[in-house]
Amino acid sequence: DSGVTQTPKHLITATGQRVTLRCSPRSGDLSVYWYQQSLDQGLQFLIQYYNGEERAKGNILERFSAQQFPDLHSELNLSSLELGDSALYFCASSVVAAGSSPLHFGNGTRLTVT
């Protein structure tokens, strides 16, 4: 158990809808990362937060947004969903924004857009 909690585990929704994915980092970790993994693909970095502030942005679509709250949990909002957004979305956390601390991953949220 990595200590990172992601909810829900599975989500099935229709095109055009909006969903929110939630992540609780490990106790003590200040940095939260979001990754998208489409079928048989690698890990696509979406966005990183550190102690409530956006720290780095990857290939995140404008239809997607995220935030990290004062209690350090994070939410990833996906709107105007398309079939191609179907993927496994991972949250990861680490103690620091860079450096020696490994990322610890949650079990992911599998999003299916129909």
Partner 1 sequence: AQKVTQAQTEISVVEKEDVTLDCVYETRDTTYYLFWYKQPPSGELVFLIRRNSFDEQNEISGRYSWNFQKSTSSFNFTITASQVVDSAVYFCALSEAYDRDYGQNFVFGPGTRLSVLP
Binding site for partner 1 (CB under 8 A): 2, 33, 42-43, 45, 48, 50, 55-56, 58, 88, 90, 92, 94, 96-105, 107-108, 110
Residue 59's closest CA among 81, 35, 31, 41? 35
At residue 49's C-alpha, the angle toward residues 32 and 7, to 5°, is: 40
CB of 80 to partner 1, least distance (A): 25
| Closer Cβ to partner 1, 52 or 79, answer by number | 52
| Closer Cβ to partner 1, 48 or 81, answer by number | 48
Q: How far is CA 73 from CA 31, 83, 112, in A?
A: 10, 27, 23
| Closer Cβ to partner 1, 15 or 51, answer by number | 51
